[in-house]
Amino acid sequence: MAGSQAQELKQRIESRTARVGIIGLGYVGLPLALLFSEKRIPVTGFDIDEAKVKTLNSGGSYIVRISPAEIARARSNGFDATSDYDRLREMDVVLICVPTPLNEYHEPDLSYITNTVEAVAPRLRAGQLIVLESTTYPGTTEEIVVPLLEKGNGTGLSVVRGDDGKGDVYVAFSPEREDPGNDTVARQDIPKVVGGVDAVATQLGCALYGCIFNRTIPVSKPAVAEMTKLLENIYRAVNIALVNELKQLCARMDIDIFEVINAAKTKPFGFQPFYPGPGLGGHCIPIDPFYLSWKAKQFDFRTRFIELAGEINGRMPYYVVDETAAALNEHRKPLKGSRVLVVGMAYKRDIDDLRESPSLTIIELLQRRGALVDYNDPFFPTVGRGRHYDLHMSSVPLDKIGEYDCVLIVTDHSSYDVAAIVRDAQLVVDTRNATRGIDSPKIVRC
């Protein structure tokens, strides 16, 4: 590895004395901080949310799947949280794990990245490694992050590039691969892709992540790593769109799409099962296709296949509401004025993540059509206002299900007694196949 500066940082990383700072303590940043802490690597979390900082420093947790005991253990290993960005100067490595949502026009909103990088820049010091983990379009690291770091540091520090090896700061991109609610794969067993602005940055990134992940995957440049993340999620989005479309066709043909999928997945090659639902949720799969289609337009290229998948998945909440109205109509009830209980608000089962959840859209569509809507979710006592919703509702208990004209299952949390819901309800519309194995004329599966 060229350069005494790089050698010194690599030695600190390998000896596990390098100080790691993680900006953004949400669903990505906090689990990452805990991985470093488990290996007794000095780690400090940075967040502008004072409530999060206070909770963590008092040994608490605000993410259901992360217990207070894990936070307490990390604290005993030296982990702390702060909103004081001046402490970034103390860090040898800075990892950026901030949101990358879409704006109201379904275009990339990089304001979290740019604001964060602009905050990091004046606190840079020579020899630091800066890694962006936030999902984004190819080119972000080199076209936005690098110029902002160099322009904003005010001391003439430059990013090390591969052409001459000169510079002061190393920059890389390494996409997060978190899957909330997935307990089958340990975090450290998920390979970590790393693409540096130059080969030395890649080596440093691999050395860093090699301390906490069992395998690192070096790639030639940040854009490759950025595209890798998009490919992974677009692959899922396209296949989910396929089964969502087939679900609608199968419904017309009186065929159970879930039975079809279960039969097809017995093939030992050439098929991977994906399952339909009420729409996409989470921070990645509903968003990433739009990041790539937006970027593709700069190259006079239209990603028609990807855009079609986004259109199909985006229409699923509308399909669910239409099917709910049809089910009520069969019971001689109009949607307008009917009481509807939405069961499950999270975007998938057993997590406390509301980001882009189809439940939010479904509730708003039901309300627009005159339905009287309540919801239940054990992870969300209240739902207020977000970037794309304004509900201000509170979770209701499940002890008066019989008073509702329709119970709409949108998220199949394992804590729900589905058999009891069917028993007590007048009508159940099931978007998740949660009622499989239950035979009742009350059930409409969509």
Q: Are 12 and 18 in contact (CB under 8 A)?
A: yes
Residues 267 and 315 in one domain: yes
User: Is there a domain that residue 229 lies in?
Assistant: no
> Contact 8/32 with Cβ under 8 angstroms?
no
Does 267 lie in the same domain as 343?
yes
Amino acid at 54: K
pLDDT digits (tens, 9 = 90+) for 285-324: 778 888 999 999 999 999 999 999 999 999 999 999 999 9
The rounded radius of gyration (Å) of the Cα atoms in the chain is 24
Helix, strand, or coil here: 155?
Answer: coil
Q: Is 37 helix (H, G, I), strand (E, B) or coil?
A: helix
- Amino acid 85: pLDDT: 97
**pLDDT over 60 at 225, yes or no:** yes
Burial class (CB in 10 A: 0-12, 13-18, 19+), 1: middle
Note whether residue 226 is domain-resident.
no
Question: Domain end: 158, 186, 220, which one?
Answer: 220
**Looking at the structure, do residues 70 and 137 belong to the same domain, yes or no?**
yes
Q: Are residues 250 and 312 in the same domain?
A: yes
**Strand 192-196 and strand 170-173: pairing?**
antiparallel
Which pLDDT tens digit goes with each residue over 61-94? 999 999 999 999 999 999 999 999 999 999 999 9
Q: What is the pLDDT of residue 178?
A: 84
| Number of compact structural domains in the chain | 2
Environment class of 312 (CB within 10 Å of its CB; exposed 0-12, middle 13-18, buried 19+): buried
Report yes or no on whether pTM surpasses 0.75: yes
Same domain, yes or no, for 114 and 263? no
Residues carrying an active site annotation: 284
Domain boundary among 197, 220, 243: 220
- Residues 262-281 have a mean pLDDT of 96
Q: Which of 220, 253, 283 is the last residue of a domain?
A: 220
Q: 2 — phi, psi (to 5°)?
A: -75, 145
Helix then strand then coil, % of the chain, to nearest 5: 40, 15, 45
Mean pLDDT for the stretch of residues 383-406? 92
Of the candidates 91, 134, 87, the residue with the CA atom closest to the CA atom of residue 115 = 134
| DSSP E strand stretches across 62-135 | 80-82, 93-96, 129-132
For the record, the structure tokens of 6 come out as 């790089």
Structural domain of 345: 234-445
What pLDDT was estimated at residue 1? 56
Same domain, yes or no, for 113 and 248?
Answer: no
CB-based contacts of 160, cutoff 8 Å, min separation 6: 6, 166, 167, 168, 169, 170, 171, 197, 198, 200, 201
> Tell me: the pLDDT tens digits for 99-141?
999 888 888 999 999 999 999 999 999 999 999 999 999 999 9
Residues 214 and 262 in one domain: no
Do 286 and 212 share a structural domain? Answer: no
Could you read off the pLDDT of 232-248 as tens digits, one per residue? 999 999 999 999 999 99
- pLDDT of 125: 94
Whether 225 is covered by a domain: the verdict is no
Which CATH number covers residue 142? 3.40.50.720
User: At residue 192, does pLDDT exceed 60?
Assistant: yes
Quick one: 239 and 176 in the same domain? no
DSSP characters over 348-371:
STT----TT-HHHHHHHHHHHTT-
Mean pLDDT in residue range 167-186: 90
Q: Based on the domain organization, do 253 and 280 belong to the same domain?
A: yes
Helices marked H in 122-266: 140, 146-152, 199-209, 222-252, 257-264
| CA distances to 55, 143, 144, 310, 406 from 222, in Å | 34, 10, 12, 25, 50
Q: Is residue 227 part of a domain?
A: no
State yes or no: pLDDT of 387 exceeds 80: no
CA distances to 42, 105, 446 from 308, rounded to whole Å, are: 46, 17, 21
Give domain status of residue 340, yes or no: yes
How far apart, in Å, are the Cα atoms of 92 and each of 130, 161, 396? 9, 19, 48
Rounded Cα distance, 236 and 245, in Å: 14
Cα-to-chain-centroid distance, residue 141: 20
Q: Please check whether residue 439 lies inside any domain of the structure.
A: yes
Statement to judge: residues 201 and 53 lie in one domain: yes
> Which tokens in the block code for residue 374?
């309540």
Q: Which long-range contacts (CB under 8 A, 24 or more apart) does 392-395 make?
A: 393/363, 395/345
Q: Do 238 and 121 fall into the same domain?
A: no
